[in-house]
Every structure is written in C-alpha cells, then in structure tokens.
Amino acid sequence: MLAPLQRIELAIDAIIQPVVFMGMVALIGVITLQIVSRVFFSAVGWTEEVARFLLIWITFLGATLAFQRGRHIAVTFLVDALPGRLQQLTRIAAILVVLGFMIALIVIGHRYMQMQSFQKSASLRLSMTYVYAIIPISAALMAWYALVDLVELIVKGPQATDTGSPTAEEPPP
C-alpha cells in the first residue's frame, strides 16, 4: 500500500520541481526586463505585477517541496528522546494536526479565491482567482504529503523516524 503512494508522491515532486525552476527563470527574466526597460527606455508596466505573482507561486510551491523533504523548521529533540512507540504516537499526532491545518487552509483558500474572483490585477487585468489559487493547491499538496507520511509511520512503525521521504539527492537514513 505504501509503494503506490510513494510513487505518486515522487510523480508530483517531478512535476513541481521543474515548475518552480521555470518560475525562477521567468522571474529572473521579468526582473531583468524591468531593470533594463527602466534604465534605457520607459518602464514596462506589467513586469512588476508578473514578478509579484511569480514570486507568490514560487514561494508556495517551494514550500510544498520543502515540506515533502521534511525541511521546514522543527524542534524535535523532545520527540527524539521518547521511546519508540511513544515517539511514533507523538509523530502521528503531529501529522494529524498538520493535516487538520492543511484541510482548513484548503477550505479557507478556496473561499478567499471565490471572494476575490471579481477582482482584476491592475496591469494585466488578470482575474486574481489565478493568483490566489496557489493557496488551496499548495495546501492540498502538503496534505497529500502529510497523508503519505502518516501511512508510512503507521506501516513502518517506530522505525519511520523522520517524516518526509528521502529523494535521490539524499541518502536514506
């Protein structure tokens, strides 16, 4: 049961990584265009808005990648000091709290998207729904990652000491 979930997790990761990379490339390009146009010509008005929207999407998608790898800040010395079974139960409780928060963020982010659907961006006249869509999308991705971590903790037992699946760059513990 765990292997298919981990394959889906890796497939999602394989999609998000290049999207974040291309977003960074686009952000660098847009900011470079903005600087060059301000210095040598008249400023291109839409570049600031595109840069802002790209930064928002890159930040949220990058946060999902960090979450999947277990790279968010965590203070674990107390949990690490617990005996195996109690440590497992504590980690399960923490993941359930994260899942609850992510589900709430999905609902709140979707509502916020709907509330802002009438609003258009100043330069591009783009519906702000597209900008705010990243909130429930990234929360859903992080909820998926947390669910996979939860199943891994339950299946592997206390041996599953760290959450976040190791990637090809990271040696397994």
Structure tokens at 165: 């699946």
Residue 110 has pLDDT above 70, yes or no: yes
Residues 80 and 87: beta-carbon distance below 8 Å = yes
**Per-residue confidence (pLDDT) for residue 76, from 0 to 100:** 82
pLDDT, tens digit, 9 for 90 and up, residues 113-145: 999 989 999 999 999 999 999 999 999 999 999
**Per-residue confidence (pLDDT) for residue 84, from 0 to 100:** 81
- DSSP H helical ranges for the chain: 2-40, 46-68, 77-80, 84-115, 128-132, 134-156
Residue 172 has pLDDT above 90, yes or no: no
Residues 148 and 160: beta-carbon distance below 8 Å = no
Residue 167 has pLDDT above 50, yes or no: no
Higher local confidence (pLDDT), 78 or 173: 78
49 DSSP β-pair partners: none
Q: What is the 3 state secondary structure string of 73-88?
A: CCCCHHHHCCCHHHHH
Distance of CA 92 to the CA centre of its chain: 20
CA geometry: angle at 140 spanning 136 and 144, to 5°?
170
Axis crossing angle, helix 134-156 with helix 46-68, rounded to the nearest 10: 10
Boundaries of every domain in the chain: 2-159
pLDDT, tens digit, 9 for 90 and up, residues 10-64: 999 999 999 999 999 999 999 999 999 999 988 888 999 999 999 999 999 999 9
**Per-residue confidence (pLDDT) for residue 13, from 0 to 100:** 94
**Per-residue confidence (pLDDT) for residue 161, from 0 to 100:** 53
Q: Residue 164 — very low, low, confident or very high, per pLDDT cuts 50/70/90?
A: low
Residue 81 has pLDDT above 80, yes or no: yes
DSSP SS3 for 158 = helix
